[in-house]
Amino acid sequence: GAVVSQHPSWVICKSGTSVKIECRSLDFQATTMFWYRQFPKQSLMLMATSNEGSKATYEQGVEKDKFLINHASLTLSTLTVTSAHPEDSSFYICSAPPGGNEQFFGPGTRLTVL
């Protein structure tokens, strides 16, 4: 199956700092990637759809100025959590469809904000 990677796998930062998470499609090109957040024992919550070469589409209630998304190439999307606070601590997962209906997920990034 298609491979999606994320970096870093975990990050700990101080409150007020910004954190960048990378999502890469390793063996296919993805014009669209998706960013999810998952709290403990809860399902995935779609945050935004990342579109190569254009602005991301954010779900209702997700602050676009706080969660900056850049889809700079057909294999890379980045999510930057700006001025992170403890309530932003979560598991962030990206996914990409290699061309069909299926989505393939990255391994996730655990963000802890102190």
Partner 1 sequence: EDQVTQSPEALRLQEGESSSLNCSYTVSGLRGLFWYRQDPGKGPEFLFTLYSAGEEKEKERLKATLTKKESFLHITAPKPEDSATYLCAVHSTGNQFYFGTGTSLTVIP
Binding segment (CB under 8 A) for partner 1, from list 14-22, 66-74, 76-84, 94-102:
94-102
The residue behind tokens 């960013």 is 35
CA dihedral 10, 51, 48, 80 (to 10 degrees): 40
DSSP character string of 30-55: -SEEEEEEE-TTS--EEEEEEETTS-
- CA 45, 105, 79, 83 dihedral sign is positive
Give the nearer residue to partner 1 in terms of CB position, either 65 or 101: 101
Binding segment (CB under 8 A) for partner 1, from list 12-20, 62-70, 76-84, 92-100:
92-100
Binding residue count for partner 1, defined by CB under 8 A: 22
Give the nearer residue to partner 1 in terms of CB position, either 38 or 82: 38
Interface positions with partner 1 (CB under 8 A): 1, 4, 6, 34, 41-44, 46, 91, 93, 95, 100-108, 110
